[in-house]
Amino acid sequence: MTYELNRRGFLRAGVAAGVAAATGTGMTPAFAAPKMGGTLRMGIAGANTSDSWDGRTHSDSFMIMMGHGTVFDCLTEVGADGKLKGELAESWEPSADAKTWTFNLRKGVTFHNGKPFNADDVIASLNLHTAEDAKSAAKPIVSSIAEMKKMNDHQIQLVLSAGNADFPFLLSDYHILMHPADAIEESIAKGIGTGGYMVENHDPGVRTIVKKYDNHYKTDACFFDSIEQIAINDSSARMNALMTGQVDAINRVDFKTEVLMKRNPNINIFEVTGNQHFTFPMLTGVEPYNSLEVRQALKLAFNRQELVDKILQGHGAIANDHPIGPANQYYHKDLAQTEYDPEKAKALLKKAGMEGLSVDLSAANAAFPGAVDAGQLLQASAKAAGIEIKLTQEPDDGYWSNVWLKKPWCACYWSGRATEDWMFSTAYESGVPWNDTGWENVRFQELLLLGRAELDTGKRESIYHEMQAICSAEGGTVVPMYANYVDAHSKKLANSGTIGNAWQMDGSRIAERWWFS
């Protein structure tokens, strides 16, 4: 797979490849007009007995899918084509400094309990995340909101503490769901939103059933009569459920048995390369990772294609030591790729007086599936560069608390973010808690602030391209690969032909966008 294509073309190509591989006959017949009706049954991994309708706590696929796009809506939405569009907000307008944003809200929208949606609901819902003691996972995203003003029932103005050109993008985040202002607790307890489907039964960690909400405002979405989403965390059980026709779609196809699934003529496997990437962060404040040459030598010691082939079984793409992926707007596809080059790595180490470098790497499969195997492959490929890697297999439990951010070099994963600024300011900005390398770069930091307040697309592109280049050349993280989202569905299901790559399962919006053919 190459990156010569543009982003949309890339996605189509990916989907077509999946279809072709599954059928052996090339593209399925043209995508017909959507048809109403039917019960969509899905077997979804990533469910917990702690699952609730509180968007602030959503972190795994089961509730991400059931939350935004099914039962609830956000103000904005990332479309299947990767472009931002309005969901509960119809349109928006920034001030010249990107500090004040005016949102025009959709009219005639009602919650499942009949209450009309208006500006008060937006303010109350945003308050859930911005409040002083809020424990929301989206707090860092919306903490820049300094003031919320209700202009009229269907218009609000949000004043930010600093300019942010991506602000409407941030509001598409799956945590920031819109609740009815006068019944927030009830809404969270029972799942009362504005989405195309109403909750009928929610048994945490077991299954959730929703049925179509007749008064929904979207006319070109939500085609199913009802949806049954079953929690199947065991991957063999999930694959079996689809093979035996007990569910119509599953997420997270098991690469080990994917070949067997492809043989089934009734099943399509669909995959997209999004922003999900696997990383190996080094603490740049610790010897020997404080040396730029050492960091560069280690980056050269990764045989990226081998990792993609063996760890991801080909379901991914090589990455270039920065966290911006093909699903981002300003992905720098022409940036020179760091290749496996043991000789150059050796030369760099010699220059730094670090020949015969020996480093420790901590890994566990909690970081990403296959992280320990990846560490062993790396051990072998780094040997050619004269680098000895001592691999420590850490326990899965408590990995994020005891190893990540603590051990000088470890394995990690990021699901990526919809915007460059969001990704960089989550894990690469100087001093933020999740900067997992402690890396600080003056020019990078300067560009970050510049890009955030810049509204001009051309200028933003050059800013973000430069940032990706700096990160790739000097950053403290090795990002060897992007991991595809690989899902599967029965051929009874149809879609528009463009599959979103913001999340798995068509941007987690399969409930809205797909139908039975």
What is the nearest approach in angstroms of other proteins to the Cβ of residue 31?
29
Coil, helix or strand for 490? strand
344 CB contacts (<8 Å, ≥6 apart)? 300
DSSP 200: E
Minimum separation from the CB atom of position 63 to other proteins (A): 12
- Which CB sits closer to other proteins, 221 or 232? 232
Strand-pairing partners, residue 41, are 228
* Residue-by-residue DSSP string for 163-196: --TTHHHHTT-TT-----GGGHHHHHHHT--SSS
Tokens 């990160």 found at: 471
Looking at residue 481, the DSSP 8-state letter turns out to be E
Secondary structure in 3-state letters for 387-434: CEEEEEECCCCCHHHHCCCCCCEECEEECCCCCHHHHHHHHCCCCCCC
28 vs 240, beta carbon nearer other proteins: 240
The amino acid sitting at 423 is M
How far apart are CB 74 and other proteins at their closest, in Å?
Answer: 19
Is 346 strand, coil or helix?
helix
Is the distance from CB of 290 to CB of 284 less than 8 angstroms?
A: yes
Tell me how many helices (H) and strands (E) the chain has: 18, 21
Q: How far apart are CA 459 and CA 201, in angstroms?
A: 49
CB nearer other proteins, residue 11 or residue 231 = 231
Nearer to other proteins, 127 or 496 (CB): 127
* Shortest distance (Å) from residue 82 CB to other proteins: 25
Q: Residue ranges of the alpha helices (H) in 37-148? A: 61-66, 119-130, 139-142
Cβ distance to other proteins smaller for residue 186 or 343: 186
Residue with Cβ nearer other proteins (230 or 418): 230
Taking the complex as a whole, the smallest distance from the CB of residue 417 to other proteins amounts, in Å, to: 13
Q: Are 112 and 217 in contact (CB under 8 A)?
A: no
Q: Give Cα 502 to chain centroid, integer Å.
A: 5
Cross-strand bridge partners of residue 230? 43, 207
Nearer of residues 116 and 140 to other proteins, judged by Cβ: 140
Note the maximum CA span of the chain. 71
Q: How far is the CB of 50 from other proteins (least distance, A)?
A: 3
- CB of 139 vs other proteins, minimal distance in Å: 10
The continuous run of DSSP H or E covering 514 comes out as: none
- Toward other proteins, which CB reaches closer, 9 or 245? 245
**Residue 197 CB, nearest approach to other proteins (Å):** 18
Q: How far is the CB of 421 from other proteins (least distance, A)?
A: 19
Which residues would be at the binding site for other proteins (CB under 8 A)? 43, 48-50, 52, 54, 56-57, 59, 131, 133, 135, 137, 185, 188-189, 201, 203-207, 230-234, 236-237, 240-241, 243-247, 395, 397-398, 400-402, 404, 412, 433
Q: Which residues pair with 65 in a beta bridge?
A: none
Compute the distance between CA of residue 390 and CA of residue 197 in angstroms, rounded to an integer.
Answer: 52
In the bound complex, what is the minimum distance in angstroms from residue 298's beta carbon to other proteins? 22
- Gyration radius of the chain over CA positions: 23
In a 3-state reduction of DSSP, which class is residue 19? helix
Q: Which helix (H) or strand (E) holds 249?
A: strand 249-250
Q: Where are the beta strands (DSSP E) in 67-130?
A: 76-78, 84-86, 89-94, 100-105
In the complex with other proteins, which residue's Cβ is closer, 6 or 246?
Answer: 246
Q: What share of the chain is helix, strand, coil (3-state, %, to 5)?
A: 30, 20, 45
Q: Tell the smallest beta-carbon distance from residue 52 to other proteins (Å).
A: 5
Which lies closer to other proteins via its Cβ, residue 221 or residue 269? 269
52 or 291: CB nearest other proteins: 52
Is beta strand 388-393 parallel, antiparallel or unpaired with respect to 84-86?
A: unpaired
Name which of 361 and 412 has its Cβ closer to other proteins.
412
Please name every residue paired with 371 in a beta bridge, in sequence order, or none if there are none. none
Q: How far is the CB of 479 from other proteins (least distance, A)?
A: 16
Q: Shortest distance, CB of residue 62 to other proteins, whole angstroms?
A: 12
| Closer Cβ to other proteins, 196 or 476, answer by number | 476
